[in-house]
Each structure stands twice: as structure tokens, then as C-alpha cells.
């Protein structure tokens, strides 16, 4: 091991991750005068948008909103080309922001953090890396992402496959040619659904291996004209402020009332209007979309009828229709021509629930009914969401307690940002925050701002450690659970990554706060205003 590799460096704060969260945190903390280091496993900034380079990858929150609000200069200077920007453009944007504020000089790339240990005597975090380096800091910010650890699907024989094997979640940074190739795609969540039309257009033949059909809403993506952008840019401050007062940090014309009391025709008209408009706003037509069975059944049936209208072959349409779980119980998808793609001659949909994958072979995928030979196999099989990046580091807190021990029965946090027993460690958009139910760039900014304000106060008052109390963590976790219980998102058939159901052995707990982003933000503010209620603040004199 070289001298450089054993080097220990000391900072005020170490941030793990250089996605939207880590970059904004670096910007904010550095401006406050802290000595900051960001450690990033990849060799560039962007997080999600650095890793997920698969064909068709793009945001499904509109670009004018899925962007930083902290700098008016940035939002005035940058122009988006499409309603939903493609991955490459979002990655360019993130680099533009990083370069504009000279952020890269404080980021160490190609470095994976594998340990984080709290030294109680010194009151410091020791962040260990696979390179052998150690970074020591008073504060540790986990900006490690909700969807940053690919899950390893149980696919017998996968190591035998002799063709090209790709994962959407770590797509190579080089062109992949599909020309004249038979391509197999496993997984029909948002990633698989975005990739399908693009793969079908480029490959000789596309086989889509679908285990569970998903509900997908058309994006109606289009180029953004100058007038539209100009209009947004002239109203950014007030629109951003309004968005922060919504449930999901997005202006998506949320319906203000419940749908249950309306007639079938009235509800149908709202669904049709939202289908024609496109995007995630389909889920916000009524306030009771995920709590009223009547309204949810109607919306689910509406999408199924659309599938019947679009897909010409009735057998294929039947396979594509989600029948056994409510719309929204799995993250809905937003697509461009997904259902239509199954009308192409060169696309075959394989229902691997009815005809299971037995093994991957050297030449392809063997189903119970026989082998499908492919040249390229793509896994769009998802992530160990919300907790995966944190449990892999498995921080060690006070008394030698590990995170996985504390989270044995599922993740427990206070506000999704703090954990009892782990002083001076904060998580950005962690489990127990609204995170994945919102426009995440805005949620990231809210969390980072809250942590920065908190740190400023601690430093001004000479506080040594801040730590959530066990009572606050337990109460918050119960609250998060109760909010989810009152919806249709946790019941039978809701075997989604929201509840960790895609990972064997993961506790089945609904992981996001469903009270809405605006309410959450108000709660965070009142916690701070009350002198960090629910936290224990220790000054050297108390120790
Ligand atoms: P990330 O972007 O995930 O960044 C985390 C970073 O931490 C990564 O770069 C990772 O390499 C690094 N890291 C993790 N662990 C370690 C470690 N141990 N050591 C060193 N580095 C580490 N959200 C929306 O709101 N709208 C969308 O349209 C949208 N589209 C998405 C599309 C895809 C394909 C995916 C996967 C997610 C999407 N999301 C979307 C969610 C998206 O993750 C967030 O919007 C946002 O990018 C999260 O930023 P982040 O910085 O919190 O995390
Ligand atoms: P995902 O939603 O978890 O989907 C994974 C897919 O793989 C599911 O269809 C799953 O089937 C299937 N699968 C897993 N293991 C399998 C196996 N062994 N055999 C067959 N099929 C298997 O993952 P994702 O599509 O990557 O999306 C994750 C999240 O990232 C999204 O929900 C969204 O929040 C975000 N995202 C957003 C966008 C966007 O539009 N902007 C794009 C991509 C991702 P089952 O359902 O049966 O488990």
C-alpha cells in the first residue's frame, strides 16, 4: 500500500456521494466556510445520471422543475431541450453546475467508502475507503442516494452467459451496438419500460422478459420552445416557492378534492385529461388516488383499457395489463411508446411469471417452455432502494452498534435524516423522508439546507454532538408506518421496492413518509425552531 493510500485527512465534514445531493451539500457547506471533502465511487459527478446511461433514460419530472433552485444564475443560464431531459443532458447539466462553482476540486472520485466509525472519545467520524484511505471529520453526510445500489437478481446460471451482459443501472460509457442482434431485456419497471422502445428500434429482435406488468403513463415528451422556457425563467422564484408547498415538490396541477364522491363519468374525464397531458400528474388527479379503493380501481381500470386500445394482439395486451395490485403500489412509469412497441413484429413479450426463467444459459435464457437465444442480455432489475447504500457502509455508532443492528426490523430514522446512536451523522432523503415520492432535486435541497442551518447553529453554540433521541426516532417511524397503513400502497400485492420486497431477506417495511413534502418541510422547520426538538445536543461542558 502506498503512502498516499494510508493517508488520513481531517475535515469539518465528509460527504459520501457526488450526485445532486452531494454536490449541493458541497456548495452550501463550503460557502459556509467549512472544510469539506466529497468521496465518490464513480469517476464523475451526477450519481443516478452518471450510472444509468441506458438507451431511453430520462427524467420523469419535467426538466424545468427537475433541476436545482438554489442558484438563480444557474436556472437562468441553463436551457433544457425537452420536456423530460435525456440522461446525457442531465449529466451535462450536473457537470455544468459542478464546473461553474468549481466543485470538483473537493471531490475524490473512484473511491468507495466501505466503513464509517464514530470515535466516541474524540467525537469524530472515521470514514474508511476501499483505497485504504481514512477521512476524519466532525460531521458525516450520507448523500449516497435512494436508488444507487443495483440489486443482484436471482438468476441461476447468469455467469455462464457468453453474450454481452449489461445492467441499466451501470450502463457502459461507450456506444453499444444492437444492430442485427437479438436482445433480451429482463425487468419492466421504469428503466425497462424506458429502454424497450429504443431497444426495439435498434435491435434485430427484442425479447422482453416480464415478471410483473407495470402501470405506465405516456410522457408526451417534446422539445421545449424558447417562449415556454422564457416564461418559466421569468417566474422561477414564485413557481419554485409554489412547488415547495405541494405534496411532491412539483407543480403538476394536483386535483384539490377526492374522486370518490364524483360520478364515474366525472372521474373518467379527469383521467382522460391527465393521460392526454402525460406524466406522473396522472396520479394527482384526486386527493384519494391511493387511499380510496373506488378511485384507485377506476384509475387502474382506465390504464388497462388504454392498453387494450393500443396493443393490437389481445393476448399480448392481456399480459401487459397489471391486474393484481393497485396503481401506485409500485412506482408508476412514464413512457414514450412503450405499449405501442409490442405491436412491432420484432418484439416478443414473455410472461415469466407464467413461464418462469429456469436458468440463464451460455446462449440465452431458458424458460420452462424452452430456450430463448440472445446475443445481448440486459438486466433492468432495479435497486436495493432507500437503505442499500447505507447498509453496505454499515456505519458503527455509539457503543459499537452497527446500522444493520439498529435497522434489524427495518429502517428507523428521525425525519429521514438522523438515527439515534449515530451522532453528527445525517442522511439526505433517507428512509422516513418523502424522497422518492417527490421531485428529488428539491427534496435534496431542503434536506441539505436543514442540515447546514443545523450545523451553523451547533457551531455557533459550541455544541459537540447532535443525536436523535430513541423516542423521537421510534415516534417518527410509527408515524411513517401509520401514514402508509392508511393507503393502498402496503397491502397484498404491493410487493414493490417501496417496501423492500424486491430484496430477499429485507424487512418488509414501507420506507417513505407519505405526509407530503410541504408538511414534512414544515415539521423539519418547527423541529429546528424548537431548538432541535427530538435531538440531544451535547456541549463539551455537558460531557
Ligand atoms: P444519487 O444520484 O444516487 O447519487 C449518490 C452517489 O453516491 C452516487 O454517485 C454513488 O456512486 C455514490 N455512492 C453511494 N455509495 C457510495 C459509497 N459507499 N462510496 C462512495 N460513493 C458512494 N427522481 C426524480 O425526482 N425525478 C426523476 O425523473 C428521476 N428519474 C430517475 C431515473 C433513474 C434511472 C433513477 C435510477 C432514479 C431516478 N430518480 C428520479 C431518483 C434519483 O435517484 C434522484 O432524483 C437523484 O438523482 C438522487 O440524487 P442523490 O445525489 O441523492 O443520489
Ligand atoms: P424496478 O422498478 O425495481 O423494476 C425492476 C424490474 O425487474 C421489475 O419489473 C421486476 O419484476 C424485475 N425483476 C427483478 N428481478 C427479476 C427476476 N429475477 N426475474 C425477472 N424479473 C425480475 O427498477 P427500475 O426499473 O430500475 O426502477 C427503479 C426506480 O428508479 C423507479 O421506480 C423510479 O423511481 C426510478 N427510475 C425512474 C425513471 C424515470 O422515468 N425517470 C427511470 C428509471 C428508474 P417484479 O416487479 O416482478 O419484481
The DSSP result for 157-179, as a single string, is: TGGG--SEEEEGGG--SS----T
For residue 407, pLDDT beyond 70:
yes
Are 432 and 477 part of one and the same domain?
yes
CA nearest ligand 2 atom 12, residue: 187
pLDDT reported for residue 543: 62
Residue nearest to atom 52 of ligand 1 (CA): 145
Q: Which ligand is nearest to the CA of 208?
A: 2
CA of 191 to the centre of ligand 2 (A): 6
> Do residues 305 and 205 both lie within one domain?
yes
Provide the Cα torsion 490, 494, 495, 500; round to 10°.
-30
Which of 354, 379, 404 marks a domain boundary?
Answer: 379
- In ligand 1, which atom is closest to the CA atom of 42? 11
pTM over 0.95: yes
Q: What is the H or E stretch that residue 448 is in?
A: helix 440-461
Q: How does residue 1 score in pLDDT terms, banded at 50, 70 and 90?
A: very low
Give whole-number Cα distances, 514 to 68, 416, 445, in Å.
Answer: 23, 12, 19
Which of 362, 379, 396 is the last residue before a domain boundary? Answer: 379
Residues 523 and 505 in one domain: yes
Give 196's contacts (C-beta < 8 A, 6+ positions apart). 56, 185, 188, 206, 208, 335, 338, 341, 347
Sign of CA dihedral 111, 116, 120, 121: negative
Atom of ligand 1 nearest to the CA of 389: 15
**What distance in angstroms lies between residue 170's CA and the mean position of ligand 2's atoms?**
14
Q: How confident is the model at residue 9 (pLDDT cuts 50, 70, 90)?
A: confident
Q: Of all residues in the chain, what percent carry a pLDDT higher than 70?
A: 98
Ligand 1 centroid, distance to 159 Cα (angstroms): 27
Query: How many CA atoms does the CB half-sphere of 39 hold within 13 Å?
Result: 28
Same domain, 263 and 352: yes
| Residue 339 CB partners (closer than 8 Å, separation 6+) | 216, 306, 307, 310, 311, 320
On whether both 283 and 182 belong to a single domain, the answer is yes
Residue whose Cα lies nearest atom 28 of ligand 2: it is 382
In a domain, 118, yes or no: yes
pLDDT of residue 252: 76
Please say if the pLDDT value at position 542 is more than 80.
no
**pLDDT score at 7:** 65
Q: How far is the CA of 146 from the centre of ligand 1 (A)?
A: 6
pLDDT tier at 307 (50, 70, 90 boundaries)? very high
Q: Can you give the pLDDT at residue 482?
A: 95
Question: Contact at 8 Å (CB) between 450 and 29?
Answer: no
Cβ < 6 Å from ligand 1: which residues? 16-22, 39-42, 47-48, 50, 52, 57, 59-61, 66, 112-113, 143-148, 191, 389, 393, 428-429, 439-440, 444
CA of 245 to the centre of ligand 2 (A): 29
Region 517-541 average pLDDT: 96
Total number of domains constituting the chain? 2
Phi and psi torsions of 169, nearest 5°: -80, -5
pLDDT score of 493:
59
Percent of the chain surpassing pLDDT 90: 94
Closest to 238 in 3D by CA, of 115, 72, 6: 72
Average pLDDT over residues 372-392: 98
Between 493 and 79, whose confidence is greater? 79
115's grid cell: 466503513
Ligand 2 atom index nearest CA of 193: 25
CB atoms closer than 10 angstroms to residue 170: 15
- The burial class, CB within 10 Å (0-12 / 13-18 / 19+), for 439 is buried
Ligand nearest to the CA of 194: 2
Are 300 and 423 part of one and the same domain?
A: no
- For 55-108, write each residue's pLDDT tens digit: 999 999 999 999 999 999 999 999 999 999 999 999 999 999 999 999 999 999
What is residue 222's predicted lDDT score, i.e. its pLDDT?
98
Considering every ligand atom, which ligand is closest to the CA of 148? 1
Contact partners, residue 103, CB within 8 Å, separation at least 6 = 23, 26, 27, 38, 45, 97
Residues 6+ apart with CB under 8 A from 337: 197
Q: Are residues 176 and 311 in the same domain?
A: yes
Domain that holds residue 488: 4-149+384-538
pLDDT in tens, 176-217: 999 999 999 999 999 999 999 999 999 999 999 999 999 999
The Å distance, Cα 66 to ligand 1 centre, comes to: 13
Q: Which three cell numbers stand for residue 20?
A: 445532486
44, 164: one domain: no
Query: In testing the pocket of ligand 1, which one of 45, 64, 65, 148 has its CB within 8 Å of the most ligand atoms?
Result: 148
CA 449 to chain centre: 19
Q: Which of 47, 191, 367 to mutate to test the pocket of ligand 2 (most atoms within 8 A of CB)?
A: 191
What average pLDDT does the structure give for the chain? 95
The per-residue pLDDT for 241 is 97
3-state helix, strand, coil in the chain (%, to 5): 35, 20, 45
The pLDDT-based confidence of 114 (bands split at 50, 70, 90) is very high
225 with 283, same domain? yes
The Cα 227–Cα 233 span in angstroms is 10
- Is residue 543 situated within a structural domain? no
| Local confidence band at 5 (pLDDT 50, 70, 90 cut-offs) | very low
The ligand that comes nearest to the alpha carbon of residue 388 is 1
The domain boundary residue, chosen from 326, 355, 379: 379
Q: How far is the CA of 181 from the centre of ligand 2 (A)?
A: 24
Positive or negative, the Cα torsion across 189, 192, 195, 199?
negative
160 vs 497: CA distance, rounded Å: 28
Instruction: Mark whether 483 and 456 lie in a shared domain.
Output: yes
Asked if 139 and 168 sit in the same domain, the reply is no
Alpha carbon 374 to its chain centroid, in Å, reads: 30
Main-chain phi, psi angles of 419, to 5 degrees: -135, 135
Are β-strands 347-351 and 205-210 bridged in parallel, bridged antiparallel, or unpaired? parallel
Best residue for ligand 2 mutational test, from 154, 188, 190 (most atoms within 8 Å of Cβ): 190
354's grid cell:
407464467
Same domain, 127 and 187: no
The three-point CA angle 278-302-58 to 5° equals: 30
Pocket of ligand 2 (CB under 6 A): 59-60, 147, 153-155, 186-192, 194, 209, 211-212, 331, 334, 352, 357, 380-383, 436, 497, 502
Question: 112 C-alpha to center of ligand 1: Å?
Answer: 15
Atom number in ligand 2 closest to CA 190 = 25
Amino acid at each position: 500500500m502506498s503512502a498516499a493510500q494510508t493517508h488520513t485527512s481531517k475535515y469539518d465534514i465528509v460527504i459520501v456521494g457526488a450526485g445532486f445531493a452531494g454536490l449541493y451539500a458541497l456548495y452550501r457547506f463550503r460557502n459556509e466556510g467549512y472544510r469539506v471533502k466529497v468521496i465518490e465511487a464513480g469517476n464523475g459527478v451526477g450519481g443516478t445520471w452518471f450510472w444509468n446511461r441506458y438507451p431511453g433514460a430520462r427524467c420523469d419530472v419535467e426538466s424545468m422543475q427537475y433541476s436545482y433552485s438554489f442558484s438563480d444564475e444557474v436556472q437562468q443560464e441553463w436551457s433544457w431541450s425537452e420536456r423530460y431531459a435525456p440522461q446525457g443532458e442531465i449529466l451535462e447539466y450536473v457537470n455544468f453546475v459542478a464546473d461553474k462553482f468549481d466543485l470538483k476540486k473537493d471531490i475524490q472520485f473512484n473511491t468507495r467508502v466501505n466503513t464509517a466509525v464514530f470515535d466516541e472519545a474524540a467525537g469524530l467520524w472515521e470514514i474508511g475507503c476501499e483505497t485504504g484511505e481514512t477521512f476524519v471529520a466532525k460531521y458525516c453526510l450520507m448523500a449516497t442516494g435512494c436508488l444507487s445500489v443495483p440489486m443482484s437478481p436471482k438468476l441461476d446460471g447468469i455467469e455462464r452467459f457468453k453474450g454481452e451482459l449489461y445492467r441499466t443501472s451501470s450502463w457502459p460509457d461507450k456506444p453499444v451496438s444492437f444492430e442485427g442482434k437479438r436482445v433480451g431485456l429482463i425487468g419492466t419497471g421504469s428503466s425497462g419500460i424506458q429502454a424497450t422502445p429504443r431497444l426495439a428500434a435498434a435491435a434485430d429482435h427484442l425479447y422482453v422478459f416480464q415478471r410483473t406488468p407495470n402501470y405506465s403513463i405516456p410522457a408526451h415528451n417534446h422539445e421545449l420552445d424558447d417562449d415556454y422556457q422564457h416564461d418559466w425563467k421569468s417566474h422561477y422564484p414564485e413557481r419554485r416557492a409554489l412547488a415547495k408547498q405541494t405534496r411532491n415538490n412539483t407543480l403538476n396541477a394536483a386535483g384539490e378534492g377526492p374522486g370518490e364522491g364524483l360520478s364515474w363519468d366525472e372521474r373518467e374525464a379527469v383521467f382522460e385529461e391527465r393521460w392526454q397531458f402525460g406524466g406522473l400528474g396522472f396520479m394527482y388527479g384526486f386527493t384519494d388516488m391511493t387511499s380510496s379503493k373506488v378511485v384507485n380501481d377506476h384509475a387502474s381500470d382506465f390504464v388497462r383499457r388504454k392498453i387494450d386500445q393500443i396493443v393490437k394482439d389481445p393476448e399480448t395486451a392481456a399480459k401487459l395489463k397489471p391486474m393484481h395490485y393497485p396503481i401506485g403500489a409500485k412506482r408508476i412509469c412514464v413512457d414514450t411508446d412503450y405499449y405501442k412497441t409490442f405491436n412491432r413484429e420484432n418484439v416478443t413479450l414473455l410472461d415469466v411469471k407464467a413461464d418462469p426463467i429456469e436458468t440463464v444459459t451460455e446462449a440465452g435464457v431458458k424458460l420452462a417452455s424452452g430456450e430463448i437465444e440472445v446475443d445481448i442480455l440486459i438486466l433492468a432489475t432495479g435497486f436495493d432502494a432507500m437503505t442499500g447504500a447505507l447498509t453496505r457502509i454499515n456505519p458503527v455508532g455509539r457503543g459499537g452498534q452497527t446500522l444493520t443492528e439498529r435497522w434489524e426490523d427495518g429502517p428507523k430514522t428521525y425525519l429521514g435524516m438522523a438515527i439515534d446512536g449515530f451522532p453528527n451523522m445525517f442522511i439526505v432523503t433517507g428512509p422516513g423522508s418523502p424522497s422518492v415520492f417527490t421531485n428529488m432535486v428539491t427534496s435534496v435541497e431542503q434536506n441539505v439546507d436543514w442540515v447546514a442551518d443545523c450545523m451553523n447553529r451547533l457551531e455557533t453554540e459550541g455544541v459537540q454532538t447532535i443525536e436523535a433521541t430513541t423516542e423521537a426516532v421510534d415516534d417518527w417511524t410509527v408515524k411513517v408506518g401509520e401514514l402508509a397503513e392508511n393507503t393502498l400502497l402496503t397491502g397484498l400485492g404491493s410487493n414493490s421496492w417501496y417496501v423492500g420486497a424486491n430484496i430477499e431477506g429485507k424487512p418488509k417495511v414501507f420506507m417513505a413518509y407519505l405526509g407530503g413534502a410541504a408538511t414534512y418541510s414544515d415539521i423539519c422547520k418547527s423541529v429546528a425552531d424548537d431548538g432541535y426538538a427530538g435531538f440531544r445536543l451535547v456541549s463539551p461542558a455537558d460531557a
